Amino acid sequence: MSDAIRVGVIGAGYWGPNLVRNFFEAPGAEVVAVCDLAQERLDAIRKRYPSVRTTRDHRELIADRAIDALCVVTPVSTHERLAGEALRAGKHVLVEKPLAATVAEAESLVALARAQDRTLMVGHTFVYNPAVMKVREILRSGKVGDVYYVDSQRVNLGLHQFDINVLWDLGPHDVSIVLYWLEAEPDWVACMGASYIQSSIEDVVFLEMGFPSGALAHAHLSWLAPGKRRTMTVVGSKQMVVYDDVEVAEKVKVFDQGVERMDPDELRRSYRAGDTYAPRIAATEALQLEVRDFIQAIRSGRPAVADGEAGLRVVRVLEAAMRSLREKGSRVPYREKVRA
């Protein structure tokens, strides 16, 4: 394994150790160093992976020429600075989602990666989730027909962040999934929300996106709910698909029913409830597929599915949504008009 990709991880909080474990399980890579400000986190890593070097100074990892790739698993506000340093030092970089705190920062990272000819990837783990991939496959097959709308519920109790609101915390999941499924960017974004627990940090938001095809996406994101819910419904002209990530046995269900267009002579629309069908979903861990895509992108030079561009698109939606939030929910264009 002498030509394994040598990986460093900056940030060993909740998510970092998952990345470490997955790089250890993936062929063709090994974690050589982990950095965190908290010594007890580093101790925990070392107890589990005695061969891994640990440090509290991320510059050691940036400077280490033996490290090929760096994972940035730190608060959003630091993404641009840390990922930028790593790219400039010639590393390939995997940044946790969202890619950056602003569109400007995300654009700068994308440009920098291109200039340095390095792989830039963002941790949109859900686009590597086998159930999410199965839904895209179903949508591509054409059986669902035209997509009318996508409705998403992503709520649960607790884990309020103190530095970002629920839109930036949970929203990247829904936005990255919807853009991946529809293979399109929205025309406009609207967002409404409220802050109940911490002033000026929204814990409940309703996000809308309108697409060129006429499709609509709606997401209810909340830290304030009685239980975990992770349900996305795709309503198409021919079929409907429900993806419920909390469901154990049937994560994806296809409803073979549609609505016929109106017959003006009938008082009520016919109600055609058909069969339902739940395809088998592979049990592979999404993060493992993500890590492998990163490794292959580095080796082959081709972009990862969740490449920097994908990360930038999600940040664009979030930034537009923030503006809508401040304007009490009015529609905001996805792309700013070019300023003269």
- The residues that touch a copy of itself, with contacts defined as CB under 8 A, are 24, 47-48, 50-51, 148-149, 151, 157-162, 190, 192, 194, 196-198, 204, 206, 208, 214, 216, 218, 220, 222-228, 233, 235, 237, 240-242, 246, 248-250, 253, 255, 257, 259, 261-262, 264, 266-280, 328-331
Q: Which two tokens stand for residue 166?
A: 């629920």
Q: 213 vs 300, which CB is nearer to a copy of itself? A: 213
> Buried b / exposed e across 276-314, counting CB within 10 Å, b at 16+?
eeeeebeeebbbebbbbbbbebbeeeebbebbbbbbbbb
Minimum distance from CB of 302 to a copy of itself (Å)? 29
Distance of alpha carbon 234 from alpha carbon 180, whole angstroms: 13
The 8-class DSSP code of residue 200 comes to T
Cβ(14)–Cβ(43) below 8 Å: no
Minimum distance from CB of 83 to a copy of itself (Å)? 22
CA pseudo-torsion sign 126, 131, 134, 138 = negative
User: Which residues make Cβ contacts (< 8 Å) with residue 140, sequence separation at least 6?
Assistant: none
Cβ(225)–Cβ(155) below 8 Å: yes
Minimum distance from CB of 93 to a copy of itself (Å)? 24
Distance of alpha carbon 164 from alpha carbon 182, whole angstroms: 27
Q: 70 vs 252, which CB is nearer to a copy of itself? A: 252
Minimum distance from CB of 304 to a copy of itself (Å)? 26
Q: 53 vs 91, which CB is nearer to a copy of itself? A: 53
Q: 158 vs 183, which CB is nearer to a copy of itself? A: 158
Minimum distance from CB of 216 to a copy of itself (Å)? 5
Q: 116 vs 156, which CB is nearer to a copy of itself? A: 156
